[in-house]
């Protein structure tokens, strides 16, 4: 594609897309366990639950953007839980529909036996299916035509998050009770704790009627969400990240597509205003900023080119390694040469493409530059609603920063260069947008942004986390909260 035709806001901000998909999939399909060390915990359901079938309207900033449908049906061995969701998302000025479906078989005590998860958007299709035996899940994931297999250890026998609310039915909860669960998200293959706190009873209006409800405060990685449960334990309303709300409605109201609108541009909603303008980010060698209003403990702020102390973060541009710099890889570094679920460095198609780009006599630095340049020129910059996958990105030749980052990681590893994914913020025309890029080991870790065609990346790339999709989930507690102030820039 012609790079001159790329609109500036299409090359930054894609980092929030994956998080929105994860947020929705957490709503749809998670494994959980109760913590026996907490003052209140669930016990297995002994009274059979009746069939349940309800619809939810999804709004964002008071605009209807989609719907969800859930059914719970008793079976001979337990229950069948099915749930589907459709949302119309505006990201970087492009409107796309995203559909997610989950189908789960549950034992009588609501523990999970098997599941199927399906995420589909305009360009991409991602599926995960799993069978649970004890504390291990056998997972098949990827595209419908080329799934991969993995074995995933689980901390406890899993439950489904939605069945968690069912397991609360009949319990005498009181204000102040706390529950902690561990969730598994099929979109990121990550496991994280979620804390729930009973806030008390409220009366809310649902489908034109006054309903008594128990309000729960749900804390997922610092992202505050709320759920209102009816007197029978059914979910009446949920409010979450980026102004998203789910509310019980009739089937007709849920499916009314004539009034269905796209969300507000999520990349703009999540972006952060810069207190000063930066005319030439590439010309800077150093930047110091103050961070506020977030818990920095889950983040990776200190290390490499970043120095963090007393809420002050200094970022210095890395020098380009000398041509004869030694590239010996320790055991800790070598693991970043290995393929991983979404970074298929051993895939024959990836390996074949890398061999076309580099030469055997190239140094690692030359290889890195060639691969970054090839990605910048050959992968179309377009926001994508899916789970970033290196092989699928290479096949479709399109993606936002997440797709560029996983593909660069896979190609670099295939070329013998250890690579990781980083995510955080990048400056573009007066604002900081959530973004993803890479670090490549060239004697030292060097930043590389294939979306922008930069190696090393400029100092306005603010690393908040390092790792794959499971690590990017840690940004949930940052979006909508982080405040930053540029204190100094140095050319």
Q: Same domain, yes or no, for 286 and 221? A: no
pLDDT tens column, 424-447: 999 998 999 989 999 999 999 999
Percent with pLDDT over 90 in the chain: 41
pTM for the predicted model, two decimal places = 0.78
Q: In 277-400, which ranges are continuous DSSP H helix?
A: 331-334, 348-357, 364-378, 390-396
- The residue with tokens 């530059």 is 369
Q: Same domain, yes or no, for 203 and 163? A: yes
Q: What is the pLDDT of residue 489?
A: 97
Q: What is the pLDDT of residue 132?
A: 87
**Which domain CATH number covers 296?**
3.10.620.30
Higher pLDDT, 449 or 37: 449
pLDDT tier, 80 (very low <50, low <70, confident <90, very high otherwise) = very high
- Domain of 27 in residue numbering reads as 16-266
Does any domain span residue 205? Answer: yes
Does any domain span residue 2? Answer: no
- Which span out of 83-97, 184-198, 221-235, 395-409 was modeled with the highest average pLDDT? 395-409
- The residue with tokens 């796209």 is 262
Does any domain span residue 146? Answer: yes
Q: What is the pLDDT of residue 389?
A: 86
Rg of the chain over Cα atoms, rounded to whole angstroms, equals: 23
Q: Same domain, yes or no, for 95 and 192? A: yes
Q: Same domain, yes or no, for 115 and 131? A: yes
pLDDT tier, 9 (very low <50, low <70, confident <90, very high otherwise) = very low
Distance (Å, whole) CA 412 – CA 186: 26
Per the structure, the count of domains in the chain is 2
pLDDT tens column, 240-299: 767 788 899 999 999 886 566 666 677 787 889 999 999 999 999 999 999 999 999 989
3 state SS of 447 = strand
Q: Same domain, yes or no, for 89 and 155? A: yes
Structure-block tokens of residue 306:
């970043």
Of 425, 426, 429, whose CA–CA distance to 278 is shortest? 429
Distance (Å, whole) CA 222 – CA 32: 17
Q: Same domain, yes or no, for 111 and 254? A: yes
């Amino acid at each position: 594609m012609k790079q001159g035709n790329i609109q500036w806001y299409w090359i930054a901000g894609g980092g929030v897309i994956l998080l929105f998909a994860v947020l929705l999939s957490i709503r749809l399909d998670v494994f959980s366990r109760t913590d026996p060390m907490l003052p209140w915990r669930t016990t297995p359901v002994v009274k059979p639950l009746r069939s349940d079938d309800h619809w939810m309207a999804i709004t964002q900033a008071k605009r209807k953007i989609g719907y969800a449908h859930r059914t719970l049906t008793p079976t001979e061995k337990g229950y069948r839980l099915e749930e589907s969701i459709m949302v119309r998302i505006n990201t970087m000025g492009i409107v796309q529909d995203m559909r997610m479906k989950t189908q789960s078989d549950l034992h009588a005590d609501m523990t999970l036996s098997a599941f199927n998860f399906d995420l589909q958007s305009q360009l991409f299709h991602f599926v995960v299916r799993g069978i649970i035996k004890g504390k291990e899940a056998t997972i098949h994931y990827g595209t419908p035509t080329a799934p991969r297999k993995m074995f995933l250890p689980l901390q406890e026998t899993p439950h489904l998050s939605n069945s968690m609310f069912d397991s609360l039915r009949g319990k005498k909860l009181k204000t102040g009770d706390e529950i902690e669960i561990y969730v598994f998200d099929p979109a990121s293959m990550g496991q994280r704790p979620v804390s729930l706190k009973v806030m008390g009873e409220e009366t809310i209006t649902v489908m034109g009627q006054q309903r008594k409800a128990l309000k729960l405060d749900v804390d997922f990685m610092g992202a505050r969400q709320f759920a209102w449960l009816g007197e029978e334990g059914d979910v009446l309303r949920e409010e979450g990240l980026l102004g998203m709300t789910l509310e019980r409605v009739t089937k007709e109201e849920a499916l009314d597509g004539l009034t269905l609108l796209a969300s507000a541009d999520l990349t703009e909603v999540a972006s952060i205003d810069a207190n000063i303008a930066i005319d030439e980010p590439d010309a800077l060698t150093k930047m110091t900023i103050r961070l506020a209003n977030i818990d920095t403990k889950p983040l990776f702020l200190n290390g490499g080119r970043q120095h963090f102390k007393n809420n002050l973060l200094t970022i210095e541009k890395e020098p380009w390694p000398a041509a004869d710099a030694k590239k010996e890889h320790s055991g800790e570094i070598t693991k970043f040469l290995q393929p991983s679920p979404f970074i298929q460095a051993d895939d024959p198609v990836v390996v074949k493409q890398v061999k076309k780009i580099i030469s055997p006599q190239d140094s690692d630095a030359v290889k890195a530059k060639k691969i970054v340049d090839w990605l910048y020129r050959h992968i179309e910059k377009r926001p994508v609603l899916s789970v970033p996958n290196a092989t699928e990105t290479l096949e479709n030749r399109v993606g936002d920063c997440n797709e560029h980052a996983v593909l660069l990681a896979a190609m670099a590893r295939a070329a013998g260069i250890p690579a990781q994914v980083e995510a955080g913020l990048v400056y573009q025309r007066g604002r900081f947008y959530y973004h993803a890029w890479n670090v490549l080991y060239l004697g030292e870790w060097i930043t590389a942004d294939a979306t922008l065609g930069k190696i090393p990346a400029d100092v306005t790339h603010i690393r908040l986390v390092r790792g794959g999709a499971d690590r990017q989930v840690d940004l949930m507690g940052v979006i909508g909260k982080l405040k930053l102030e540029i204190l100094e820039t140095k050319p």
